[in-house]
Amino acid sequence: MPRARGGNKRKESRKKIMAQAKGFKGKRGTSHRIAKQAVMKAMKNSYIDRRRRKRDFRRLWITRIGAAAKLNGLSYSTFINGMEKAGVQINRKMLADVAVRDAATFGRLAEIAKQALAAE
């Protein structure tokens, strides 16, 4: 009985790698050996960056809230502290959106935070 060589499986796995490397420049998109390394690195970076995106957005929201709080005479930390003491439970994403789109509403929230801090 002749020896079975993994011809089809090998071809399938190479096609899969090359499909993932579609659009890569130079040998990264044409040579299997180099494409395999490029795809592995791209997959690793995409995994890392899915987590980094969450950090980056939180930093952006905090920056926006801090800037809007400064316009209302508060620092970011005192604003958040006042919101917690007032019992207002709005997450940072929503606060940042309000700060950017509706300054009047954010001003009212800042007043609520100031009143809660003054009531201590």
* pLDDT tens digit sequence for 73-96: 999 999 999 999 999 999 999 999
What pTM did the predictor assign? Answer: 0.79
Side-chain half-sphere CA neighbours of 40 within 13 A: 6
Residue 44 has pLDDT above 70, yes or no: yes
Alpha carbons 75 and 117: distance in angstroms, whole number? 13
Q: Which fold has domain 12-118?
A: c-terminal domain of poly(a) binding protein (1.10.1900)
Q: Rg for the chain (alpha carbons), in Å?
A: 26
